[in-house]
Amino acid sequence: MNAYETADRIILDVVKNSMNFDSGILKRDREQNTLVRWTINVAESKLFETQLCDYSVEFPRINERLFGQEYNFGYTARLSKDVKFGPLYKHDLSKGTTTIHDFGNFRTAMEPVFVPRSGASTEDDGWLMSYVFDENTNKTDVVILDAQNFQDEPVAIIHLPVRVPYGFHDNWIADSDLHTV
């Protein structure tokens, strides 16, 4: 999700699955993808691990303006043992809490992308966008949530005429940044 340094520590927040590189792919149903914090105490050459949420997650994202810096909020999508996605999660790392936005039965969210509001004054001032697949219609929507009011109804839903496949990655680039790409 992110990594940063303090005076004497290196902090890495990652999705961990001990079976990722195991040749026995069928063993994955015994493990969940866990959001953890690895804290490396540089002076003592020790690593400490702290679990950050109880849900199996994937596709960790943050407000990209804070890459490599200390931050408070991260966003993930649920990943079940049968490799299906589900609700989105907002992780408040300073409080140690996780908030859920469930899109309803047979609707599964994919990778969340944070889009900062122009002139944002706080880290989570913006929107969270995700593809949401509806198994009933076999179509996908782009759903936009207010990141500060994460559990509220979506701000907007864009109905796509087709299905976007699971695992499709996405990013946000503001019009003002297109000239630098």
Terminal-to-terminal C-alpha distance of the chain:
23
Per-residue pLDDT of 122-162, as tens digits, reads 999 999 999 999 989 999 999 999 999 999 999 999 999 98
pLDDT band at 15 (very low <50, low <70, confident <90, very high): very high
The DSSP letter of residue 179 is G
3-state DSSP assignment of residue 83 = coil
pLDDT at 91 over 80: yes
pLDDT at 73 over 60: yes
pTM over 0.75: yes
